[in-house]
Every structure is written in structure tokens, then in C-alpha cells.
Amino acid sequence: MFEAIGERINTSRKFVQEAVAEKNADYIINDVKQQVQAGASFIDVNAGARIGHEVEDMKWLLDTIEPVATVPLTLDSPDPAVLEMAYKMVEKTPMINSISLEKERFDAMMPFLEGKDCKVIALCMDDAGMPASSNDILGRAKSLVEELNKIGISTASIYVDPLVQPISTDSKKGIMVLSAVRAIKAEFPEIHITGGLSNISYGLPQRKIINRTFVTLMMEAGMDSAIIDPLDKKIMATIRTADMLLGEDDYCMNYLKGVRSGDIES
């Protein structure tokens, strides 16, 4: 079944930043509950936007969210010290967002991740920049799996982000990432594929229809997770419907539940 990582608790969002600055717990709790009700499997928590306040903001957010969250949290920070604090504050096995092959980030994150019971988002990025081909994505994914396996992170706990790139800059970018996802899943059947979908439509009009169409293609290729806004009813309806059509919804029960609740409409 597809896993939606709810992206809304991020201090780069104006209203979240205001809520954190004003210690408006009701706003944060309500947003988290809405995301879970809409189908989020994880809630991403990012407190990095207020420079100089990330530690205190992350601590306050987790103190606020942890007692009410019924799904695991994705701890989102490039700072291992922030993640270490956050990891100790959560009860459910968290997801860590993220590691990459960029030397500075890789060297900082690997000691933190070693020995941890967690899931990990692994970006197919290295110091050469964005991947230029599907083979490039696959090669980076292999390196990430190899390195994470060495420190005790199982392949089934790795969520590879192949880094979706704008199709407006190169009409082959969609095919490139779809091919890479198929190859990664063929190499590592138990691995997860995640990432942000909206980059595909950057620079184009009517972006939401592009994103909804693209997620169905990515799901058929093997993507089983995405960092999205669960309150976008249309993309969540598209994901539920695609799950059903791909045989991931026994007896169509999740689809039928969505129709009855009004979450899926024609």
C-alpha cells in the first residue's frame, strides 16, 4: 500500500512558522490530525527555516505532536545533533530525512545513523550534482544501499529518492526517472521509492494535473511512497485509485471506503 509522507509541518510554510513562533499548539495539532485523517502514513517534521532556532523549534514541535500523532514521524534536518535530540523524543520507529552521497552530508549522517532503529530517506545526489541518466540514478542508489547496509540499516528500511527533475527543461526527464525506478526495484525488490513529485511540473501551467498523472506512472514503475500534502484530496484520490488498479487494495476496500467518505469523487 502506498505511503504518503505528510509534508505540511515545515517552518518554511508561513502559517506553520507563525504557529511555532507564537507557540500555537492548537494549530499544529489540528494540522497533524487532518493529515492523518486524510491518509498520511508519516508526518514529516522540519524546523529548519527559523535560523538559529532549529533546536528549540524542533523540540517544541515534537513535544506538541508526539502525544497526538497516531503515525510515525519523519525527522527532517541536515544537522545530526538536531536529529539525535529528536530521535530520543519519539516512541514510534521514525524515518530520517535524509542522507545523500554528498561527502559533507554523508560523513555527518553516517555516524548518527549507525546502530539506529529507523527508516532512512536516501537521496540519489552526490558531489557531481543531479543525476544525468537512469544509470546514474541506479549507480547512486546501489552505493547508498551498500553503505547503509554496512552500518546495519536493512534494505527494506531504505526509501530511495531518485530525484525527480523538471520535464520543462528536458522532455526525457520523466522517462529517465521512471526507467531508474524500475531498475532500482529490479535490483532491490524490498526497497522503497519515495520523493517529491511536484518537481516534474516545475515551470509548466496546470501543475496539479501533471503531478496526478505522473504519480500513477511512478506507482506502476515501483514508487510506493511520496512526500506530499495529504490534504490535496485529488492527488490522494488518484493514489488510492492507482493502488487499487495495481492490486495493492484487497477487495477494493480502501477505494470503496474513500468513495463512501467522499474523499474519492469523479
- Domain segments of the chain: what residues? 1-92, 95-231
pLDDT (mean) for 184-212: 97
Assigned C-alpha cell, 241: 485509485
- What confidence tens digit (pLDDT) does each residue in 31-75 have? 999 999 999 999 999 999 999 999 999 999 999 999 999 999 999
Cell numbers 492490486: residue:
247
Q: Is the dihedral of CA 11, 85, 231, 98 positive or negative?
A: positive
Assigned C-alpha cell, 211: 503531478
Class of 95-231 in CATH: alpha beta
What confidence score (pLDDT) does residue 266 get?
Answer: 82
Q: Are 38 and 59 in contact (CB under 8 A)?
A: no
- What confidence tens digit (pLDDT) does each residue in 108-132 have? 999 999 999 999 999 999 999 999 9
Cα separation values, 87 from 48, 95, 112, 118, 244, Å: 16, 9, 10, 9, 34
- What percentage of the chain has pLDDT greater than the value 70? 100
- What percentage of the chain has pLDDT greater than the value 90? 99
What confidence score (pLDDT) does residue 46 get?
Answer: 98
What confidence score (pLDDT) does residue 81 get?
Answer: 96
Q: Is-cis flag, bond preceding 98, omega within 30?
A: yes
pTM for the full predicted model: 0.96
